[in-house]
Amino acid sequence: MNFQSIAPDKFGAIYGALVAGGAAVIVAYLSNRHAFKRLNLELQHQTEQKERERQFALRRDIYVPLLEAASSAMSYYGQIGTVPSELFRQPEPLNALARQIAKLNVIASKRID
């Protein structure tokens, strides 16, 4: 039994299929690697956008009302000398400031950009 009796007649077809299969594997690997890098960049960008939106929402919902409450409390302290003593028992600006500070401590993080 010799090699030519068990070998196929056309080696070119087999080698062509092996080369084409190898090229397809290399192309698929490179394509998947590029898609993976692109997906990572997109996810990183989305994460940055969500963090930026979160910071803007905190500024809009927490910090701006806190500053308004602080301003009202400061004007309340400025009026203490001219306001009748009955109004001292209802320190609403100070209560509003305390509520906003509590909201800041519960919701907002310690890091402010």
Cα 57 to Cα 53, 70, 91, distances in angstroms: 6, 19, 29
Nearest to 70 by CA among 42, 99, 39: 99
Please check the confidence at residue 82 and state whether its pLDDT lies above 60. yes
The pLDDT, as a whole number, for residue 7 is: 60
Please enumerate in sequence order all residues whose Cβ is within 8 A of that of 63, keeping only pairs 6 or more positions apart, or say none.
104, 108
Residues, the chain: 113
Nearest to 103 by CA among 55, 61, 75, 71: 61
Average pLDDT over residues 77-105: 75
Average pLDDT over residues 20-29: 95
Give percent of the chain above pLDDT 90. 28
Assess contact for 66 and 96: CB atoms under 8 A: no
